C-alpha cells in the first residue's frame, strides 16, 4: 500500500491515541497488551504490535519486515535493509568508531564546564537554551568539521528534520545538500582530522561511500546525534530537578548515572514507535499479514511490558536488567546512541560535581514546542542551581 494514499494513518495521529499524559499512555499500553496485543486496522492496511516479544521480533526480522521506504528520508543506514545496510554500516563503522566517540570526553568536559559557568555565577539558568540545545549541535559540528558560525543553521536543520521524522513537516533539503556537497568537495581537496574527512577516506574491499551516501548519513546523524541527545538530556534534568532524592542519590554515588540514563530512555520516551512494511505474505503469531501492509511496532509499549519490566509504571534508577527498545534493536539500532549516552553521562556527572542542589523555578514551568504534534519537545526549562561549597571556602 502506498503511504500517499488518502486513508493512510499518519504517525502523529497514531501517537495521539494513548493520551497526553504518561499515566494515560502506560494505562493504554497495558490495556492493549492484555486485551489486543496485536491489532489489525484494515481500513489503513495496518497492524500494531504492543508486547515486547512481538515488537522485538518485528525489529529483528528484517527479511520479513522491511524498513525501506517507510518515511521520506533518503536511503542511509537507518532506512535501508541488507545488503545495502550491511555495506553502509561496514563502511561507516570504520570512521564513526567507539574510540572516536570516547576521545571526545575531555572536550565535552571543557564545553560543559564552560556553559555551566552562568549557572554557577547566577544560581539559575534556562538549561535548554543554555546547554541541552547547543551542546549536541556543537559536538556534532566539531566532529563533522563545521565552522562555528554555521552552528545555528545546523540547529535549525536538525529540528526541521526531527519534524519530518515525526511526520509533522516535510522540509526542503536542498540547502542542506548544497552545504554538505560544498563541504565534501573542500575536504576532498584538503582533508582534516574530522568525521567528514574520515568518511571520505573509509574503504572496505575496494568500496567507498559516495558523496550522496555521506550527505544522507549527515542527515541521519543530525536527527540521531542532536535531537535525540537534546530530548534525553531535557527528560533527565527535568526529572532530577523535580525529584531531589534522585539527584542526591546520583551525587552520593555517580555510578548510578548510567543506569538512570537507561531508565529515562525506557520511561520518558513514552510515545515511540517504529514502522515497517511486510515484504511478503506472512503469518505472525496466528495473524495473516499481507505483503505491503504496514506494521507498527510500539517500542514505547514494549518498554512497559510487565513481563520484562516488573512494576513498569514506576521509575527505578536502579532497574536491572533494563533491555528497553528506545534506541531500536538488531541491525537498525540507532547509530547515534553511544554519542548520546556519552554526552548525557558527562553532563550529569559535571552538574552533580558542581551543584549540591537543583530545583525547578516554580514561576517558570517547562515550556514545549507546539509545532511537533503529539511529541513533546521542550523549549525551555528554568532551573535554580545551588553551587557546591568547597571545604576550604
Domain at 79, CATH number: 1.10.630.10
Q: Examine residue 32 and state whether it is found in any structural domain, yes or no.
A: yes
Mean pLDDT, residues 233-254 = 97
Asked whether residue 98 is domain-assigned, the answer is: yes
Indicate whether 37 belongs to any domain: yes
C-beta neighbour count of 117 within 10 angstroms? 12
Number of separate domains in the chain: 1
In this prediction, what percent of the chain has a pLDDT beyond 90? 62
Preceding amide of 245 cis, omega within 30:
no
Structural domain boundaries enclosing 308: 11-386
CB atoms within 10 A of CB 346: 20
Most confident by average pLDDT, 213-227, 235-249, 324-338: 235-249
Q: What is the pLDDT of residues 146-194, one digit of tens each?
A: 888 888 888 788 777 766 766 666 777 788 899 999 999 999 999 999 9
- Cis amide prior to 83 (ω within 30 degrees): yes
**Residue 323 burial class via C-beta count within 10 angstroms: exposed 0-12, middle 13-18, buried 19 and up:** middle
Question: Is there a domain that residue 4 lies in?
Answer: no
Condensed to tens digits (0 to 9), the pLDDT of residues 291-311 reads: 999 999 999 999 999 999 999
Domain annotation covers residue 100: yes
Q: Is the dihedral of CA 80, 82, 83, 86 positive or negative?
A: positive
Residue 204 lies in a domain: yes
Cα 82 from Cα 86, distance rounded (Å): 5
CB 261 within 8 A of CB 341: yes
pLDDT at 121 over 90: yes
Does residue 6 sit within a domain? no
Q: Residue 1 has what pLDDT?
A: 30
Amino acid at each position: 500500500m502506498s503511504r500517499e494514499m488518502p486513508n493512510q494513518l499518519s504517525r502523529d495521529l497514531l501517537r495521539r491515541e494513548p493520551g497526553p499524559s504518561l499515566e494515560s499512555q502506560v494505562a493504554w499500553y497495558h490495556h492493549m497488551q492484555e486485551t489486543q496485543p496485536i491489532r489489525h486496522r484494515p481500513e489503513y492496511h495496518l497492524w500494531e504490535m504492543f508486547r515486547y516479544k512481538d515488537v522485538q521480533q518485528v525489529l529483528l526480522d528484517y527479511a520479513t519486515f522491511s524498513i525501506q521506504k517507510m518515511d521520506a528520508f533518503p536511503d542511509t543506514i537507518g532506512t535501508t535493509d541488507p545488503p545495502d545496510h550491511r555495506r553502509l554500516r561496514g563502511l561507516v563503522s570504520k570512521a564513526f568508531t567507539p574510540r572516536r566517540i570516547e576521545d571526545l570526553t575531555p572536550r565535552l568536559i571543557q564545553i560543559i564546564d564552560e556553559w555551566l559557568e552562568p549557572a554557577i555565577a547566577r544560581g539559575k539558568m534556562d538549561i535548554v537554551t543554555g546547554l541541552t540545545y547547543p551542546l549536541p549541535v556543537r559536538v556534532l559540528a566539531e566532529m563533522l568539521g563545521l565552522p562555528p558560525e554555521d552552528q545555528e543553521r545546523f540547529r535549525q536543520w536538525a529540528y526541521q528534520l526531527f519534524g519530518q521524522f515525526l511526520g509533522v513537516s516535510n522540509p526542503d533539503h536542498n540547502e542542506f545538500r548544497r552545504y554538505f556537497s560544498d563541504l565534501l568537495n573542500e575536504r576532498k581537496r584538503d582533508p582534516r582530522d574530522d568525521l567528514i574527512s574520515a568518511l571520505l577516506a573509509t574503504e572496505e574491499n575496494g568500496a567507498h561511500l559516495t558523496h550522496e551516501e555521506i550527505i544522507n548519513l549527515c542527515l541521519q546523524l543530525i536527527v540521531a546525534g542532536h535531537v535525540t541527545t537534546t530530548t534525553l538530556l531535557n527528560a533527565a534534568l527535568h526529572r532530577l530537578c523535580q525529584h531531589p532524592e534522585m539527584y542526591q542519590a546520583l551525587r552520593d554515588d555517580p555510578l548510578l548515572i548510567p543506569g538512570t540514563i537507561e531508565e529515562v530512555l525506557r520511561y520518558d520516551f513514552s510515545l515511540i514507535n517504529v514502522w515497517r512494511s511486510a515484504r511478503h505474505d506472512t503469518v505472525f503469531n496466528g495473524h495473516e499479514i499481507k505483503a505491503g501492509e504496514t506494521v507498527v511496532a510500539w517500542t514505547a509499549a514494549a518498554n512497559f511490558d510487565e513481563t520484562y519490566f516488573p512494576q513498569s509504571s514506576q521509575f527505578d534508577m536502579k532497574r536491572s536488567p533494563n533491555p528497553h527498545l528506545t534506541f531500536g534493536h538488531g541491525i537498525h539500532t540507532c547509530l547515534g546512541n553511544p554519542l548520546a549516552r556519552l554526552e548525557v553521562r558527562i553532563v550529569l556527572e559535571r552538574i552533580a560535581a558542581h551543584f549540591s542542589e537543583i530545583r525547578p523555578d516554580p514561576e517558570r514551568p517547562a515550556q514545549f514546542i507546539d509545532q511537533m504534534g503529539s511529541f513533546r519537545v521542550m523549549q525551555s526549562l528554568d532551573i535554580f542551581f545551588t553551587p557546591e561549597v568547597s571545604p576550604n571556602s
